[in-house]
Amino acid sequence: MSETTEVIKELLESINVDGNYRTESLELLEKGESRYLRDFKVNFNSTLSSEHLSAKEIGLIGVSIAINNQNKPLLAYYTSFSEANGASAEEIAEAVACASLLASNNVFYRFRHFTQKEKYTQIPARIRMQIMMKPVTGKEFFELLSLAVSAVNGCEMCVNAHEDSLIKLGTTEERIFDAVRIASLITATGKVIY
Give me the pLDDT at residue 130, please.
84
What is the arithmetic mean of pLDDT over 15-28?
96
Q: Please, what sign has the CA dihedral across residues 141, 142, 147, 148?
A: positive
* Tens-digit pLDDT profile for residues 84-136: 999 999 999 999 999 999 999 999 989 999 999 999 989 988 888 888 889 99
Q: For position 125, what pLDDT does the model report?
A: 85
Look at residue 131 in the predicted model and tell me its pLDDT: 84
At residue 1, the pLDDT reads 79
Out of 7, 60, 61, 155, which one is annotated catalytic?
155
Given a contact cutoff of 8 angstroms between Cβ atoms, the answer to whether 47 and 167 are in contact is no
Tell me, what's the pLDDT at 44? 96
Per-residue pLDDT for 179 more than 90? yes
CATH assignment of 52-190, given 3.40.50.300, 3.90.25.10, 2.40.50.140, 1.20.1290.10? 1.20.1290.10
Tell me: the pLDDT tens digits for 42-56? 999 999 999 999 999
Any residues with CB less than 8 A from the CB of 85 and at least 6 apart, and which?
A: 54, 55, 56, 58, 59
- Provide CB contacts within 8 A for 27, sequence distance 6+: none
- pTM for the model stands at 0.94
Let me know if 98 is a catalytic residue. Answer: no
**Direct distance between the N- and C-terminal alpha carbons of the chain, in angstroms, rounded to an integer:** 23
**How many Å is the Cα radius of gyration of the chain?**
18
Query: pLDDT tens, 28-38?
Result: 999 999 999 99
Question: What is the 8-class DSSP label of residue 170?
Answer: T
Catalytic residue among 7, 98, 158, 182: 158
Three-state DSSP state, 194: coil
Q: Where do the structural domains in the chain lie, given as residue ranges?
A: 1-48, 52-190
Residue 39's identity, in one-letter code, is D
* Model pLDDT, residue 133: 84
- Alpha carbons 3 and 5: distance in angstroms, whole number: 5
Is residue 158 among the annotated active site residues?
A: yes
